[in-house]
Amino acid sequence: MSTERRRYRRVKLGLEDGFFGNFQLSDGSVINAPLVNLSAGGVNFVLPAADRERIKPGSRLVLLRIFGVTNFELNRSAEALVRWIGDPGPGGTVPVGCEFQEIDESERGRLERFVDAERVVRGQYD
C-alpha cells in the first residue's frame, strides 16, 4: 500500500461519479466542469478541448461550489491558481490542475472532512 506524499488527502473521482465544479474564470464567466480529484489543497478537473484557450497556466479561478451526486456549498469561495494544463485525452477532454491559493481555514477544514467522507464511500483508505 502506498502512502500519498501530498499535504492533504485527496479523493479520486471518475467522470461516471458525477461530481462537477462550478468555477468562475478571471473574465467573470462561469463554467461547470467534471472533477477528477479533489483535496483541501487543490482540484483537478477536465474541460472540453475546445475550451482549452479559456484557461491558461498561472491564471486564477474561483471554485464556487461542487454539485452533482453530492452537493457541497462553500460558505466562502476558494481561489485557485491553474498550475498545469495537460494534453487532450480520451473523449477530447483536457485535464487542468489547480492549487487553492486563498481559502479560509474553516472552509479548508470542511473540504478535508468532505474528502475524507468521500474516500470512505469509495474505499480509498490510507
pLDDT digits (tens, 9 = 90+) for 8-57: 999 999 888 889 999 999 899 999 999 999 999 999 999 998 888 889 99
Range of the domain at 34: 10-120
2 pLDDT more than 60: no
The count of domains in the chain is: 1
- Domain membership of residue 31 (yes or no) is yes
Res 126: pLDDT:
66
- Domain membership of residue 2 (yes or no) is no
Note the pTM of the prediction, 2 decimals: 0.88
- Domain membership of residue 43 (yes or no) is yes
Model confidence pLDDT, tens digit, residues 45-81: 999 988 888 899 999 999 999 998 777 887 777 899 9
Give the span between the Cα atoms of 81 and 9, in whole angstroms.
19
103 pLDDT more than 50: yes
